[in-house]
A and B are shown apart, each in its own frame.
Chain A
Protein backbone atom coordinates (compact mmCIF):
# COMPACT_ATOMS: atom_id res chain seq x y z
CA UNK A 1 0.00 0.00 0.00
CA UNK A 2 1.52 3.28 -0.92
CA UNK A 3 -0.56 5.48 1.28
CA UNK A 4 1.63 6.51 4.18
CA UNK A 5 -1.25 7.34 6.44
CA UNK A 6 -1.84 4.25 8.51
CA UNK A 7 -5.41 3.16 8.20
CA UNK A 8 -7.57 1.43 10.69
CA UNK A 9 -10.53 -0.63 9.65
CA UNK A 10 -13.80 -0.60 11.48
CA UNK A 11 -14.36 -3.44 13.90
CA UNK A 12 -17.83 -2.40 14.93
CA UNK A 13 -20.04 -4.22 12.52
CA UNK A 14 -18.96 -7.80 12.13
CA UNK A 15 -20.16 -11.03 10.61
CA UNK A 16 -23.63 -10.96 12.11
CA UNK A 17 -24.48 -7.69 10.45
CA UNK A 18 -22.86 -8.84 7.24
CA UNK A 19 -24.83 -12.07 7.17
CA UNK A 20 -27.93 -10.11 8.03
CA UNK A 21 -27.40 -7.75 5.16
CA UNK A 22 -26.70 -10.66 2.88
CA UNK A 23 -29.76 -12.69 3.83
CA UNK A 24 -32.26 -9.86 3.76
CA UNK A 25 -30.93 -8.53 0.49
CA UNK A 26 -31.10 -11.84 -1.30
CA UNK A 27 -34.58 -12.30 0.11
CA UNK A 28 -35.65 -8.92 -1.14
CA UNK A 29 -33.80 -9.48 -4.39
CA UNK A 30 -35.47 -12.83 -4.89
CA UNK A 31 -38.87 -11.32 -4.37
CA UNK A 32 -38.34 -8.43 -6.70
CA UNK A 33 -36.79 -10.59 -9.39
CA UNK A 34 -39.52 -13.14 -9.12
CA UNK A 35 -42.13 -10.45 -9.39
CA UNK A 36 -40.53 -8.87 -12.41
CA UNK A 37 -40.00 -12.24 -14.07
CA UNK A 38 -43.58 -13.16 -13.42
CA UNK A 39 -44.71 -9.99 -15.12
CA UNK A 40 -42.50 -10.54 -18.11
CA UNK A 41 -43.04 -14.26 -18.31
CA UNK A 42 -46.61 -14.71 -17.12
CA UNK A 43 -46.44 -18.39 -18.01
CA UNK A 44 -44.04 -18.92 -15.13
CA UNK A 45 -45.55 -16.36 -12.87
CA UNK A 46 -47.04 -18.83 -10.41
CA UNK A 47 -43.86 -20.76 -10.05
CA UNK A 48 -41.68 -17.73 -9.56
CA UNK A 49 -43.98 -16.08 -7.06
CA UNK A 50 -44.55 -19.22 -5.08
CA UNK A 51 -40.85 -19.83 -4.77
CA UNK A 52 -40.05 -16.25 -3.89
CA UNK A 53 -42.72 -15.74 -1.30
CA UNK A 54 -41.76 -19.00 0.26
CA UNK A 55 -38.04 -18.33 0.34
CA UNK A 56 -38.34 -14.84 1.70
CA UNK A 57 -39.80 -15.93 5.01
CA UNK A 58 -36.94 -18.06 6.36
CA UNK A 59 -34.29 -15.81 4.86
CA UNK A 60 -35.81 -12.75 6.45
CA UNK A 61 -36.40 -14.42 9.75
CA UNK A 62 -32.86 -15.73 9.99
CA UNK A 63 -31.55 -12.38 8.81
CA UNK A 64 -33.55 -10.49 11.39
CA UNK A 65 -32.58 -12.95 14.08
CA UNK A 66 -28.95 -12.40 13.24
CA UNK A 67 -29.39 -8.67 13.51
CA UNK A 68 -31.07 -9.07 16.84
CA UNK A 69 -28.29 -11.32 18.01
CA UNK A 70 -25.89 -8.54 17.12
CA UNK A 71 -27.74 -6.12 19.39
CA UNK A 72 -26.29 -5.47 22.78
CA UNK A 73 -29.68 -4.91 24.37
CA UNK A 74 -31.95 -7.26 22.48
CA UNK A 75 -35.06 -6.53 24.47
CA UNK A 76 -35.02 -2.98 23.21
CA UNK A 77 -35.28 -4.05 19.59
CA UNK A 78 -38.84 -2.87 19.46
CA UNK A 79 -37.54 0.65 19.74
CA UNK A 80 -35.79 0.24 16.41
CA UNK A 81 -38.85 1.67 14.68
CA UNK A 82 -38.76 4.91 16.62
CA UNK A 83 -36.70 7.08 14.36
CA UNK A 84 -37.52 6.57 10.68
CA UNK A 85 -37.40 10.25 9.89
CA UNK A 86 -33.63 10.28 10.05
CA UNK A 87 -32.21 6.87 10.85
CA UNK A 88 -31.67 4.47 7.99
CA UNK A 89 -31.48 1.69 10.48
CA UNK A 90 -34.92 2.56 11.71
CA UNK A 91 -36.20 2.73 8.14
CA UNK A 92 -34.60 -0.58 7.46
CA UNK A 93 -36.26 -2.09 10.49
CA UNK A 94 -39.64 -0.91 9.37
CA UNK A 95 -39.02 -2.03 5.83
CA UNK A 96 -38.03 -5.48 7.02
CA UNK A 97 -41.15 -5.83 9.07
CA UNK A 98 -43.44 -4.53 6.36
CA UNK A 99 -41.77 -6.70 3.77
CA UNK A 100 -42.08 -9.76 5.91
CA UNK A 101 -45.76 -9.16 6.61
CA UNK A 102 -46.63 -8.32 3.03
CA UNK A 103 -44.70 -11.27 1.76
CA UNK A 104 -46.58 -13.58 4.07
CA UNK A 105 -49.85 -12.00 3.02
CA UNK A 106 -48.90 -12.32 -0.58
CA UNK A 107 -47.74 -15.85 -0.12
CA UNK A 108 -50.95 -16.88 1.55
CA UNK A 109 -53.15 -15.28 -1.06
CA UNK A 110 -54.78 -18.09 -3.08
CA UNK A 111 -53.53 -18.18 -6.61
CA UNK A 112 -56.90 -18.91 -8.08
CA UNK A 113 -59.95 -19.24 -5.94
CA UNK A 114 -62.48 -21.83 -7.14
CA UNK A 115 -65.12 -19.41 -8.27
CA UNK A 116 -63.19 -17.34 -10.73
CA UNK A 117 -62.41 -14.08 -9.11
CA UNK A 118 -61.38 -11.48 -11.64
CA UNK A 119 -60.03 -9.14 -9.03
CA UNK A 120 -57.55 -11.73 -7.74
CA UNK A 121 -54.84 -11.23 -10.38
CA UNK A 122 -55.20 -7.51 -9.89
CA UNK A 123 -54.79 -7.96 -6.18
CA UNK A 124 -51.74 -10.06 -6.83
CA UNK A 125 -50.38 -7.34 -9.01
CA UNK A 126 -51.01 -4.56 -6.52
CA UNK A 127 -49.71 -6.60 -3.65
CA UNK A 128 -46.67 -7.50 -5.73
CA UNK A 129 -45.96 -3.88 -6.43
CA UNK A 130 -46.34 -2.84 -2.81
CA UNK A 131 -44.30 -5.77 -1.52
CA UNK A 132 -41.65 -5.11 -4.11
CA UNK A 133 -41.44 -1.54 -2.97
CA UNK A 134 -40.91 -2.67 0.60
CA UNK A 135 -38.36 -5.19 -0.64
CA UNK A 136 -36.63 -2.43 -2.54
CA UNK A 137 -36.48 -0.45 0.66
CA UNK A 138 -34.91 -3.46 2.35
CA UNK A 139 -32.38 -3.64 -0.45
CA UNK A 140 -31.76 0.03 -0.24
CA UNK A 141 -31.38 0.33 3.48
CA UNK A 142 -28.18 -1.63 3.90
CA UNK A 143 -26.35 0.48 1.40
CA UNK A 144 -27.91 3.68 2.59
CA UNK A 145 -27.10 2.92 6.21
CA UNK A 146 -23.46 2.89 5.20
CA UNK A 147 -23.57 5.58 2.56
CA UNK A 148 -25.07 8.11 4.94
CA UNK A 149 -22.19 7.87 7.43
CA UNK A 150 -20.16 11.04 7.24
CA UNK A 151 -17.55 9.36 9.33
CA UNK A 152 -16.79 6.85 6.59
CA UNK A 153 -15.95 8.78 3.46
CA UNK A 154 -15.23 5.51 1.70
CA UNK A 155 -18.90 4.60 1.78
CA UNK A 156 -20.30 7.98 1.01
CA UNK A 157 -21.36 7.37 -2.54
CA UNK A 158 -24.71 6.63 -4.15
CA UNK A 159 -22.88 3.88 -5.96
CA UNK A 160 -22.71 1.83 -2.78
CA UNK A 161 -26.48 1.44 -2.27
CA UNK A 162 -26.78 0.92 -6.00
CA UNK A 163 -24.21 -1.83 -5.78
CA UNK A 164 -26.00 -3.39 -2.86
CA UNK A 165 -29.28 -3.28 -4.79
CA UNK A 166 -27.80 -4.81 -7.87
CA UNK A 167 -26.02 -7.49 -5.97
CA UNK A 168 -29.18 -8.11 -3.98
CA UNK A 169 -31.00 -8.66 -7.23
CA UNK A 170 -28.36 -10.98 -8.59
CA UNK A 171 -28.30 -12.81 -5.31
CA UNK A 172 -32.07 -13.01 -5.44
CA UNK A 173 -31.91 -14.61 -8.85
CA UNK A 174 -29.41 -17.10 -7.54
CA UNK A 175 -31.80 -17.97 -4.75
CA UNK A 176 -34.46 -18.58 -7.37
CA UNK A 177 -32.03 -20.71 -9.32
CA UNK A 178 -31.27 -22.76 -6.25
CA UNK A 179 -34.95 -23.21 -5.45
CA UNK A 180 -35.75 -24.18 -9.01
CA UNK A 181 -33.01 -26.77 -8.85
CA UNK A 182 -34.44 -28.21 -5.70
CA UNK A 183 -37.88 -28.17 -7.22
CA UNK A 184 -36.50 -29.85 -10.30
CA UNK A 185 -35.72 -32.91 -8.29
CA UNK A 186 -39.45 -33.48 -7.96
CA UNK A 187 -40.54 -35.86 -10.68
CA UNK A 188 -42.63 -34.54 -13.46
CA UNK A 189 -41.87 -30.95 -12.90
CA UNK A 190 -40.09 -29.27 -15.74
CA UNK A 191 -38.15 -26.32 -14.48
CA UNK A 192 -35.77 -26.00 -17.34
CA UNK A 193 -37.30 -22.96 -18.94
CA UNK A 194 -37.61 -20.89 -15.81
CA UNK A 195 -34.13 -21.99 -14.82
CA UNK A 196 -32.67 -20.79 -18.07
CA UNK A 197 -34.52 -17.54 -17.69
CA UNK A 198 -33.20 -17.02 -14.20
CA UNK A 199 -29.69 -17.89 -15.26
CA UNK A 200 -29.85 -15.57 -18.16
CA UNK A 201 -31.09 -12.63 -16.14
CA UNK A 202 -28.60 -13.36 -13.41
CA UNK A 203 -25.94 -13.01 -16.04
CA UNK A 204 -27.27 -9.64 -17.14
CA UNK A 205 -27.50 -8.39 -13.62
CA UNK A 206 -23.98 -9.59 -12.89
CA UNK A 207 -22.69 -7.56 -15.80
CA UNK A 208 -24.28 -4.48 -14.31
CA UNK A 209 -23.00 -5.46 -10.90
CA UNK A 210 -19.45 -5.70 -12.20
CA UNK A 211 -19.73 -2.29 -13.80
CA UNK A 212 -21.15 -0.70 -10.66
CA UNK A 213 -18.50 -2.34 -8.52
CA UNK A 214 -15.77 -1.07 -10.80
CA UNK A 215 -17.23 2.41 -10.77
CA UNK A 216 -17.51 2.38 -7.01
CA UNK A 217 -13.96 1.29 -6.39
CA UNK A 218 -12.50 3.66 -8.90
CA UNK A 219 -14.50 6.43 -7.31
CA UNK A 220 -13.07 5.42 -3.92
CA UNK A 221 -9.57 5.27 -5.29
CA UNK A 222 -9.91 8.75 -6.66
CA UNK A 223 -11.05 10.21 -3.37
CA UNK A 224 -8.12 10.90 -1.04
CA UNK A 225 -10.10 10.01 2.07
CA UNK A 226 -11.23 6.71 0.59
CA UNK A 227 -8.08 5.74 -1.25
CA UNK A 228 -6.76 3.67 1.64
CA UNK A 229 -10.01 1.75 1.65
CA UNK A 230 -9.84 1.02 -2.05
CA UNK A 231 -6.26 -0.12 -1.66
CA UNK A 232 -7.04 -2.38 1.27
CA UNK A 233 -9.61 -4.06 -0.95
CA UNK A 234 -7.68 -4.27 -4.16
CA UNK A 235 -4.15 -4.70 -2.86
CA UNK A 236 -4.20 -4.94 0.88
CA UNK A 237 -5.63 -7.18 3.56
CA UNK A 238 -8.77 -8.04 1.62
CA UNK A 239 -7.30 -8.33 -1.86
CA UNK A 240 -7.39 -12.12 -2.08
CA UNK A 241 -10.94 -12.34 -0.85
CA UNK A 242 -11.87 -9.57 -3.17
CA UNK A 243 -10.28 -10.80 -6.37
CA UNK A 244 -10.89 -14.46 -5.87
CA UNK A 245 -14.09 -14.40 -3.89
CA UNK A 246 -15.94 -11.37 -5.10
CA UNK A 247 -14.70 -10.82 -8.62
CA UNK A 248 -13.86 -14.24 -9.96
CA UNK A 249 -16.13 -16.45 -7.92
CA UNK A 250 -18.92 -13.98 -7.36
CA UNK A 251 -19.11 -12.29 -10.75
CA UNK A 252 -16.98 -13.73 -13.54
CA UNK A 253 -17.64 -17.43 -13.01
CA UNK A 254 -21.43 -17.21 -12.52
CA UNK A 255 -21.66 -14.68 -15.28
CA UNK A 256 -19.94 -17.11 -17.58
CA UNK A 257 -22.06 -20.02 -16.45
CA UNK A 258 -25.24 -18.02 -16.62
CA UNK A 259 -24.80 -16.60 -20.08
CA UNK A 260 -23.37 -19.77 -21.50
CA UNK A 261 -26.19 -21.80 -20.12
CA UNK A 262 -28.73 -19.37 -21.48
CA UNK A 263 -27.29 -19.04 -24.95
CA UNK A 264 -25.97 -22.54 -25.46
CA UNK A 265 -29.36 -23.87 -24.35
CA UNK A 266 -27.74 -26.70 -22.45
CA UNK A 267 -29.80 -29.28 -20.73
CA UNK A 268 -29.85 -32.10 -18.29
CA UNK A 269 -27.06 -32.69 -15.87
CA UNK A 270 -24.86 -30.03 -17.41
CA UNK A 271 -27.54 -27.47 -16.83
CA UNK A 272 -27.95 -28.60 -13.28
CA UNK A 273 -24.24 -28.37 -12.67
CA UNK A 274 -24.04 -24.97 -14.31
CA UNK A 275 -26.97 -23.69 -12.38
CA UNK A 276 -25.70 -25.07 -9.12
CA UNK A 277 -22.29 -23.58 -9.79
CA UNK A 278 -23.77 -20.23 -10.58
CA UNK A 279 -26.00 -20.15 -7.57
CA UNK A 280 -23.46 -21.34 -5.03
CA UNK A 281 -20.54 -19.33 -6.33
CA UNK A 282 -22.72 -16.34 -6.93
CA UNK A 283 -24.22 -16.40 -3.46
CA UNK A 284 -20.83 -16.80 -1.84
CA UNK A 285 -19.67 -13.87 -3.89
CA UNK A 286 -22.66 -11.83 -2.86
CA UNK A 287 -21.87 -12.53 0.76
CA UNK A 288 -18.18 -11.81 0.34
CA UNK A 289 -18.92 -8.58 -1.44
CA UNK A 290 -20.69 -7.36 1.65
CA UNK A 291 -18.03 -8.83 3.86
CA UNK A 292 -15.25 -7.03 2.07
CA UNK A 293 -16.99 -3.71 1.62
CA UNK A 294 -18.20 -3.55 5.20
CA UNK A 295 -15.14 -4.93 6.97
CA UNK A 296 -12.64 -2.81 5.13
CA UNK A 297 -14.47 0.39 6.05
CA UNK A 298 -11.98 3.05 7.01
CA UNK A 299 -13.21 6.02 8.92
CA UNK A 300 -11.99 9.48 8.13
CA UNK A 301 -8.78 10.61 9.76
CA UNK A 302 -9.06 13.50 12.12
CA UNK A 303 -7.52 16.59 10.77
CA UNK A 304 -5.81 18.55 13.48
CA UNK A 305 -3.91 21.70 12.70
CA UNK A 306 -3.21 20.42 9.24
CA UNK A 307 -2.07 17.00 10.41
CA UNK A 308 -4.03 13.90 9.56
CA UNK A 309 -4.43 11.91 12.74
CA UNK A 310 -5.59 8.35 12.41
CA UNK A 311 -7.79 7.13 15.14
CA UNK A 312 -6.20 4.17 16.88
CA UNK A 313 -7.02 0.67 15.68
CA UNK A 314 -9.55 0.14 18.36
CA UNK A 315 -10.93 3.66 18.38
CA UNK A 316 -14.49 2.55 18.17
CA UNK A 317 -14.15 -0.41 20.46
CA UNK A 318 -13.66 -0.47 24.21
CA UNK A 319 -10.01 0.25 24.78
CA UNK A 320 -8.64 -2.35 27.06
CA UNK A 321 -6.46 -5.30 26.25
CA UNK A 322 -6.05 -6.21 29.87
CA UNK A 323 -5.18 -9.77 30.67
CA UNK A 324 -7.36 -11.64 33.02
CA UNK A 325 -6.59 -11.49 36.69
CA UNK A 326 -6.23 -14.31 39.12
Chain B
Protein backbone atom coordinates (compact mmCIF):
# COMPACT_ATOMS: atom_id res chain seq x y z
CA UNK B 1 0.00 0.00 0.00
CA UNK B 2 1.05 3.54 -0.55
CA UNK B 3 0.52 6.33 1.88
CA UNK B 4 2.28 9.42 0.71
CA UNK B 5 3.90 11.45 3.41
CA UNK B 6 6.17 14.39 3.89
CA UNK B 7 8.85 14.91 6.47
CA UNK B 8 9.89 18.46 7.27
CA UNK B 9 13.11 18.73 9.19
CA UNK B 10 12.90 21.71 11.51
CA UNK B 11 16.59 21.42 12.26
CA UNK B 12 17.30 22.12 8.60
CA UNK B 13 14.62 24.61 7.67
CA UNK B 14 15.91 28.18 7.46
CA UNK B 15 12.55 29.84 6.97
CA UNK B 16 13.37 31.13 3.51
CA UNK B 17 9.92 30.64 1.96
CA UNK B 18 11.24 29.12 -1.25
CA UNK B 19 8.70 26.38 -0.69
CA UNK B 20 5.88 28.93 -0.53
CA UNK B 21 6.90 30.56 -3.79
CA UNK B 22 7.62 27.28 -5.54
CA UNK B 23 4.15 26.08 -4.62
CA UNK B 24 2.73 29.33 -5.86
CA UNK B 25 4.42 28.95 -9.22
CA UNK B 26 3.57 25.29 -9.54
CA UNK B 27 -0.12 25.78 -8.92
CA UNK B 28 -0.51 29.36 -10.08
CA UNK B 29 -2.49 30.14 -6.98
CA UNK B 30 -4.17 33.52 -7.29
CA UNK B 31 -3.33 36.52 -5.17
CA UNK B 32 -3.75 35.81 -1.53
CA UNK B 33 -3.72 32.06 -1.85
CA UNK B 34 -0.74 30.28 -0.38
CA UNK B 35 -0.93 26.54 0.04
CA UNK B 36 2.38 26.48 1.80
CA UNK B 37 3.17 28.94 4.51
CA UNK B 38 6.13 29.29 6.79
CA UNK B 39 5.16 30.39 10.27
CA UNK B 40 7.76 32.12 12.39
CA UNK B 41 7.65 32.40 16.13
CA UNK B 42 10.03 33.16 18.93
CA UNK B 43 10.55 31.62 22.33
CA UNK B 44 12.58 32.53 25.38
CA UNK B 45 13.82 35.93 26.43
CA UNK B 46 16.85 37.82 25.31
CA UNK B 47 19.64 36.77 25.10
CA UNK B 48 18.36 33.21 25.41
CA UNK B 49 15.68 33.82 22.86
CA UNK B 50 15.17 31.82 19.73
CA UNK B 51 13.48 32.12 16.39
CA UNK B 52 11.64 29.10 15.03
CA UNK B 53 10.36 28.28 11.59
CA UNK B 54 7.35 26.12 10.93
CA UNK B 55 6.41 25.34 7.34
CA UNK B 56 2.72 24.46 7.18
CA UNK B 57 0.89 22.61 4.46
CA UNK B 58 -2.03 20.23 4.37
CA UNK B 59 -1.20 17.31 6.62
CA UNK B 60 -3.02 14.82 4.41
CA UNK B 61 -4.54 13.24 7.46
CA UNK B 62 -5.47 9.60 7.50
CA UNK B 63 -8.56 10.70 9.41
CA UNK B 64 -9.16 14.00 7.69
CA UNK B 65 -11.46 16.29 9.60
CA UNK B 66 -12.03 18.31 6.47
CA UNK B 67 -13.29 15.30 4.62
CA UNK B 68 -15.67 14.39 7.40
CA UNK B 69 -16.96 17.88 7.60
CA UNK B 70 -17.45 18.48 3.92
CA UNK B 71 -21.16 18.25 3.08
CA UNK B 72 -20.61 17.91 -0.65
CA UNK B 73 -18.02 15.17 -0.69
CA UNK B 74 -15.78 17.56 -2.53
CA UNK B 75 -12.99 16.49 -0.26
CA UNK B 76 -11.87 12.93 -0.61
CA UNK B 77 -9.01 10.89 0.59
CA UNK B 78 -7.43 8.92 -2.17
CA UNK B 79 -6.14 5.40 -1.72
CA UNK B 80 -2.62 6.77 -1.71
CA UNK B 81 -3.50 8.97 1.26
CA UNK B 82 -3.61 12.27 -0.59
CA UNK B 83 -6.55 14.39 0.49
CA UNK B 84 -7.88 16.43 -2.39
CA UNK B 85 -10.52 19.07 -2.87
CA UNK B 86 -12.48 18.76 -6.08
CA UNK B 87 -13.36 22.29 -6.93
CA UNK B 88 -16.09 21.09 -9.26
CA UNK B 89 -17.98 19.70 -6.33
CA UNK B 90 -17.19 22.26 -3.67
CA UNK B 91 -20.01 24.65 -2.85
CA UNK B 92 -17.78 26.98 -0.87
CA UNK B 93 -19.41 26.66 2.54
CA UNK B 94 -16.00 27.02 4.24
CA UNK B 95 -16.86 24.32 6.72
CA UNK B 96 -13.62 22.51 5.94
CA UNK B 97 -11.79 25.77 6.56
CA UNK B 98 -13.09 25.70 10.10
CA UNK B 99 -12.78 21.98 10.54
CA UNK B 100 -9.12 21.60 9.72
CA UNK B 101 -7.04 21.73 12.89
CA UNK B 102 -4.08 22.93 10.82
CA UNK B 103 -5.83 25.77 9.04
CA UNK B 104 -4.90 24.26 5.75
CA UNK B 105 -7.85 24.80 3.42
CA UNK B 106 -8.78 28.34 2.55
CA UNK B 107 -11.60 29.65 0.50
CA UNK B 108 -10.64 31.39 -2.67
CA UNK B 109 -13.05 34.27 -2.33
CA UNK B 110 -12.28 35.52 -5.77
CA UNK B 111 -9.75 35.01 -8.50
CA UNK B 112 -7.62 37.82 -7.22
CA UNK B 113 -5.16 39.15 -9.75
CA UNK B 114 -2.04 40.95 -8.65
CA UNK B 115 -2.70 44.02 -10.70
CA UNK B 116 -6.02 45.67 -10.62
CA UNK B 117 -6.83 45.98 -14.31
CA UNK B 118 -4.21 43.74 -15.70
CA UNK B 119 -4.01 40.00 -15.75
CA UNK B 120 -0.50 38.76 -16.43
CA UNK B 121 -0.29 35.97 -18.99
CA UNK B 122 0.87 33.68 -16.23
CA UNK B 123 -2.19 34.39 -14.15
CA UNK B 124 -4.45 34.10 -17.16
CA UNK B 125 -3.14 30.63 -17.76
CA UNK B 126 -3.20 29.71 -14.11
CA UNK B 127 -6.70 30.95 -13.43
CA UNK B 128 -8.10 28.11 -15.51
CA UNK B 129 -7.10 25.82 -12.69
CA UNK B 130 -8.94 27.67 -9.94
CA UNK B 131 -12.56 28.38 -9.20
CA UNK B 132 -13.61 31.44 -7.32
CA UNK B 133 -15.56 30.67 -4.21
CA UNK B 134 -14.24 27.20 -3.64
CA UNK B 135 -11.92 25.84 -1.02
CA UNK B 136 -8.32 25.11 -1.88
CA UNK B 137 -5.37 23.58 -0.23
CA UNK B 138 -2.12 21.77 -0.81
CA UNK B 139 -2.71 18.64 -2.83
CA UNK B 140 0.73 17.10 -2.32
CA UNK B 141 1.37 18.04 -5.92
CA UNK B 142 -0.51 14.96 -6.94
CA UNK B 143 -0.20 15.63 -10.64
CA UNK B 144 3.56 15.62 -10.22
CA UNK B 145 3.54 12.68 -7.88
CA UNK B 146 1.47 10.66 -10.29
CA UNK B 147 4.12 11.23 -12.87
CA UNK B 148 6.87 10.13 -10.57
CA UNK B 149 8.05 13.61 -9.67
CA UNK B 150 8.50 14.97 -6.19
CA UNK B 151 6.33 17.85 -4.99
CA UNK B 152 7.50 21.29 -6.05
CA UNK B 153 8.27 22.44 -2.53
CA UNK B 154 10.38 19.36 -1.88
CA UNK B 155 12.38 19.77 -5.06
CA UNK B 156 12.97 23.43 -4.44
CA UNK B 157 13.73 23.53 -0.71
CA UNK B 158 17.17 25.04 -0.64
CA UNK B 159 18.03 23.46 2.69
CA UNK B 160 16.81 19.99 1.73
CA UNK B 161 14.59 20.16 4.75
CA UNK B 162 11.68 18.37 3.08
CA UNK B 163 11.37 14.73 2.16
CA UNK B 164 8.61 12.93 0.37
CA UNK B 165 7.81 9.25 0.23
CA UNK B 166 5.71 6.32 1.27
CA UNK B 167 4.87 6.01 4.93
CA UNK B 168 3.63 2.47 4.49
CA UNK B 169 7.03 1.33 3.33
CA UNK B 170 9.13 0.94 6.44
CA UNK B 171 12.27 1.16 4.34
CA UNK B 172 11.43 4.48 2.70
CA UNK B 173 13.44 7.56 3.49
CA UNK B 174 10.50 9.19 5.22
CA UNK B 175 9.82 6.18 7.42
CA UNK B 176 13.48 5.90 8.26
CA UNK B 177 13.82 9.59 9.12
CA UNK B 178 10.73 9.52 11.31
CA UNK B 179 12.08 6.54 13.18
CA UNK B 180 15.68 7.61 13.48
CA UNK B 181 15.15 11.26 14.20
CA UNK B 182 12.09 11.08 16.39
CA UNK B 183 9.64 12.49 13.89
CA UNK B 184 6.44 13.86 15.30
CA UNK B 185 3.14 15.18 14.06
CA UNK B 186 1.51 18.41 15.15
CA UNK B 187 -1.29 18.23 17.68
CA UNK B 188 -1.63 14.46 17.80
CA UNK B 189 -4.51 14.95 20.23
CA UNK B 190 -6.62 15.94 17.25
CA UNK B 191 -6.49 12.31 16.21
CA UNK B 192 -6.36 13.14 12.55
CA UNK B 193 -3.23 11.07 11.97
CA UNK B 194 -1.37 13.52 9.77
CA UNK B 195 0.91 12.29 7.02
CA UNK B 196 3.19 15.25 7.46
CA UNK B 197 5.85 14.64 10.06
CA UNK B 198 8.31 17.07 11.54
CA UNK B 199 11.78 16.36 12.78
CA UNK B 200 12.83 18.16 15.96
CA UNK B 201 14.48 21.55 15.55
CA UNK B 202 17.26 20.52 17.86
CA UNK B 203 18.62 17.07 17.45
CA UNK B 204 18.71 14.85 20.49
CA UNK B 205 22.42 14.24 20.14
CA UNK B 206 23.37 17.89 20.31
A and B touch in the complex (CB under 8 A): yes
Instruction: Report A-chain residues with C-beta under 8 Å of the C-beta of B92.
Output: 71-74, 76
User: Is there contact, CB below 8 Å, between A304 and B52?
Assistant: yes
Q: Which of B65-120 contact A (CB under 8 A)?
A: 65, 68-74, 87, 89-95, 97-103, 106-109, 112, 114-118
Of A74, A145, A152, A318, which one neighbours B32 at CB under 8 angstroms? A318
Instruction: Report A-chain residues with C-beta under 8 Å of the C-beta of B37.
Output: 319
Instruction: Report A-chain residues with C-beta under 8 Å of the C-beta of B54.
Output: 302, 304, 309
A8: shortest Cβ distance to chain B, in Å?
A: 10
Q: Is A270 an interface residue (CB 8 A)?
A: no
Q: Which of B129-137, B148-156, B165-173 makes up part of the contact surface?
A: B129-137
Q: Which of A26-34, A39-47, A77-85, A126-134 makes up part of the contact surface?
A: A77-85
Closest to B33 in A: A318
User: Is there contact, CB below 8 Å, between B89 and A13?
Assistant: no
Of B41, B98, B134, which one neighbours A149 at CB under 8 angstroms? B98
User: Is there contact, CB below 8 Å, between B71 and A80?
Assistant: yes
Q: Is A322 an interface residue (CB 8 A)?
A: yes
User: Is there contact, CB below 8 Å, between A299 and B101?
Assistant: yes
- Given known A150-B192, A302-B187, contact A13–B71 (CB-CB < 8 A): no
- Given known A71-B133, A73-B134, contact A80–B91 (CB-CB < 8 A): yes
User: Is there contact, CB below 8 Å, between A87 and B89?
Assistant: no
Closest to A307 in B: B43
Instruction: Report B-chain residues with C-beta under 8 Å of the C-beta of A318.
Output: 31-33, 106-109, 112
Instruction: Report B-chain residues with C-beta under 8 Å of the C-beta of A73.
Output: 87, 90-92, 131, 133-134
User: Is there contact, CB below 8 Å, between B39 and A309?
Assistant: yes
Interface range on chain B (Cβ under 8 Å from partner): 35 or more
Of A74, A79, A148, A309, which one neighbours B73 at CB under 8 angstroms? A79
Instruction: Report A-chain residues with C-beta under 8 Å of the C-beta of B33.
Output: 318-319
User: Is there contact, CB below 8 Å, between B93 and A70?
Assistant: yes
A229: shortest Cβ distance to chain B, in Å?
A: 14
Closest to A322 in B: B31
User: Is there contact, CB below 8 Å, between B91 and A87?
Assistant: no
- Given known A304-B52, A307-B43, A318-B33, contact A76–B89 (CB-CB < 8 A): yes
Closest to A225 in B: B189
User: Is there contact, CB below 8 Å, between A13 and B98?
Assistant: yes
- Given known A76-B92, A151-B101, contact A319–B32 (CB-CB < 8 A): yes
Assembled-state Cα–Cα distance A312/B38 (Å) = 11
B103: shortest Cβ distance to chain A, in Å?
A: 4
- Given known A72-B92, A90-B71, contact A303–B65 (CB-CB < 8 A): no
Q: Is A315 an interface residue (CB 8 A)?
A: yes
User: Is there contact, CB below 8 Å, between A322 and B114?
Assistant: yes
User: Is there contact, CB below 8 Å, between B73 and A83?
Assistant: yes
A155: shortest Cβ distance to chain B, in Å?
A: 9
B206: shortest Cβ distance to chain A, in Å?
A: 14
A165: shortest Cβ distance to chain B, in Å?
A: 20
B39: shortest Cβ distance to chain A, in Å?
A: 6
Q: Is B200 an interface residue (CB 8 A)?
A: yes
Of A77, A90, A322, A326, which one neighbours B117 at CB under 8 angstroms? A326
Instruction: Report B-chain residues with C-beta under 8 Å of the C-beta of A297.
Output: 98
Q: Is A2 an interface residue (CB 8 A)?
A: no
Instruction: Report B-chain residues with C-beta under 8 Å of the C-beta of A81.
Output: 71
Which residues of B are interface residues toward A (Cβ below 8 A)?
10, 31-34, 37, 39, 41, 43, 52, 54, 65, 68-74, 87, 89-95, 97-103, 106-109, 112, 114-118, 131-135, 184, 186-187, 190-192, 198, 200-201
Task: Give 21 CB contacts A-B under 8 Å.
Answer: A13-B94, A72-B94, A76-B90, A79-B74, A82-B71, A89-B95, A150-B65, A150-B190, A302-B187, A304-B54, A304-B186, A305-B10, A309-B39, A316-B98, A317-B106, A318-B108, A319-B32, A319-B34, A319-B106, A325-B116, A326-B115
Known: A145-B95, A312-B39. 7 other contacts (CB 8 A): A73-B131, A79-B72, A82-B73, A303-B186, A317-B107, A318-B33, A325-B118
